[in-house]
Amino acid sequence: MIPLGAAEARSVLAGLRDYRASLGPARQQALEAYVPWDLAFRVVGTGSVGVDDYLVLLYGTSADDPLFLQVKEADASCWEPYARKGRRAPVAPVHQGRRVAEGQQRTQTVVDPFLGWTQLRGKEFLVRQWSDHKATIEVGLLAEGGAFLDYATLCGEVLAKAHARTGDAAVLAGYCGKGEVLDLAMVRFASAYADQTEADHARFKKAVRNGALRTVKA
């Protein structure tokens, strides 16, 4: 995490004005109770390597009332190259930050009240609270009894409900069918994904041993 210089900080703060416009009136009022205090650049996780990511610390009534916003660059969807084109009339270019924010609003029952989007220096960004209070699970617990199967079932149900909210649930159910064709296809994909992950990790370790990659202890 690196503090921002004055010029870059001004650019991020200017982007917050457009971000405010992406919120509804009630959420705009809540945001107006906070004042930006400090900014930083942050290196993000594996799934977003290479994107710009900023943190903004804001304070409300006192130092006991902080708000952390994450301003994270949004890339195009990984599905975009495979999406069928030409079946609908041309539409205006999609703002990638807005695409991600609205997609999250559609798929989740309750979302971050500060979820929105903006644009900085020609790049498109998603804005949200840095701490979204997501739950996690200890991997070791999945080895106990039928915990792994229960967890997989729960994940499947949540994913299915998210899809049902964003499309025609009856059409989706018909597409899945009552047989095991889709089930077996997903199993084959998951198995191939696991094999690829192991192969990638083995290649990574080999690169470290050969000196092609340098590791640094945190």
Residue showing tokens 């798929």 = 107
Question: Is residue 139 over pLDDT 90?
Answer: no
Q: Across residues 99-114, what is the average pLDDT?
A: 90
Model pLDDT, residue 135: 75
110: amino acid identity, one letter: V
Reduced to 3 states (helix: H, G, I; strand: E, B; else coil), residue 88 is coil
In tens, the pLDDT along 1-20 reads 899 999 999 999 999 999 99
44 alpha-carbon distance from chain centroid: 11
pLDDT tens-digit map of 140-186: 888 888 899 999 899 889 888 888 888 888 998 899 899 999 999 99
Quickly state the pLDDT bin for 65 (edges 50, 70, 90): very high
Mean per-residue pLDDT for 122-134? 86
Helix 96-107 with 147-166: angle, nearest 10 deg:
110
CA separation for the pair 23, 129 (Å, rounded): 13
| Pairing mode, strands 116-120 and 123-129 | antiparallel
Whole-model pTM: value is 0.76
The distance from CA 185 to its chain's CA centroid, rounded to whole angstroms, is 26
Within 86-180, residue ranges assigned H as helices are 96-107, 147-166, 169-176
What phi-psi label fits residue 127: left (phi over 0), alpha (psi between -120 and 50 degrees) or beta? beta
How confident is the model at residue 163, as a pLDDT?
Answer: 86
Share of the chain above pLDDT 70, in %: 93
pLDDT, residue 211, reads 92
* pLDDT higher than threshold 90 for residue 110: no
Letter string b/e over residues 73-90, b meaning 16 or more CB atoms within 10 A of that residue's CB? bbeeeeeeeeeeeeeeee
Span 112-116, mean pLDDT? Answer: 94
Mean of all residue pLDDT scores within the chain: 89
Domain map (residue ranges) of the chain: 2-129, 139-210
